């Protein structure tokens, strides 16, 4: 693990500051984690840090499509944190059944290691938000998950089918994933369904 520079500031809780720096230096590794999806322009694979940033911005931009009363700040915070566990666990491809079976255990072990690098109060909040995102028991978590699930669909559509074509997915397989988007946002779910319909017309799915 990279250690913070040994600098001590007057009037600052240096132990707390160094814990925060240690965490931030560790999560810089998320920039190295490559996802299966390409960028929208198809030039290269997206990394998980880019994905997290784009999801946070997407949640803020799509706020009007969240269920009434949704705390968008909380949803954004979840999206900034949710992929940090991929530093240890790697990116689990949505349609990889074998990898998905071990995903929960791998990601929980990563959460156990990484979040406690923070000062205790911040570690507790980060873990709480990560657990909430995974459980989908609140409107904020369901909306955040909807935004997260829509992202690769947009990339695939703009890349002439992208991973759908590359791995030979059927329309039914993709529509099964749309259910989670519908659960978090009626409007985004309707858009995702229309996107799949158009992708089907373009021949992006295996018959």
Q: Which of 7-21, 92-106, 140-154, 158-172 comes out lowest in average pLDDT?
A: 92-106
What backbone phi and psi angles, to 5 degrees, belong to 206?
Answer: -70, 135
CA nearest neighbour of 202 among 166, 167, 160: 160
Record the pTM.
0.91
Neighbouring-strand partners of residue 38: 45
- The H or E element spanning position 79 is helix 72-81
The average confidence (pLDDT) of the chain is: 93
Q: Does a structural domain hold residue 5?
A: no
**Average of per-residue pLDDT across 114-126:** 98
In eight-state DSSP terms, residue 37 is E
Q: Which domain holds residue 135?
A: 14-201
Instruction: Identify the H or E element spanning 179.
Output: helix 171-184
pLDDT of residue 155: 93
CATH of the domain at 143: 1.10.3210.10
Segment among 9-13, 58-62, 199-203 with least mean pLDDT: 9-13
How many domains is the chain built from? Answer: 1
Burial class (CB in 10 A: 0-12, 13-18, 19+), 126: buried
**Residue 8 domain flag:** no
**Per-residue model confidence (pLDDT) at position 11:** 77
The answer as to whether 4 is a domain residue is: no
Q: Is residue 207 part of a domain?
A: no
Residue 83 domain-assigned (yes or no):
yes
Asked whether residue 9 is domain-assigned, the answer is: no
């Amino acid at each position: 693990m990279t250690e913070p520079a040994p600098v001590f500031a007057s009037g600052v809780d240096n132990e707390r500051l160094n814990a925060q720096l240690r965490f931030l230096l560790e999560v810089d590794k998320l920039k190295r984690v490559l996802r299966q999806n390409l960028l929208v322009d198809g030039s290269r694979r997206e990394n998980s840090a880019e994905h997290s940033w784009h999801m946070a911005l997407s949640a803020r931009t799509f706020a009007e499509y969240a269920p009434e009363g949704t705390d968008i700040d909380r949803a954004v915070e979840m999206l900034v944190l949710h992929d940090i566990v991929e530093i240890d666990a790697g990116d689990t491809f949505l349609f990889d059944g074998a990898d998905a079976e071990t995903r929960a255990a791998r990601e929980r072990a990563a959460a156990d290691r990484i979040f406690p690098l923070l000062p205790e109060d911040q570690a507790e909040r980060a873990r709480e938000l990560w657990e909430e995102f995974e459980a989908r028991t609140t409107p904020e978590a369901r909306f955040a998950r909807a935004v997260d699930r829509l992202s690769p669909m947009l990339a695939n559509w703009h890349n002439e089918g992208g991973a759908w074509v590359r791995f030979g997915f059927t329309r039914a397989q993709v529509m099964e994933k749309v259910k989670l988007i519908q659960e978090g946002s009626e409007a985004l779910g309707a858009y995702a369904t229309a996107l799949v319909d158009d992708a089907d017309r373009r021949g992006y799915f295996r018959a």
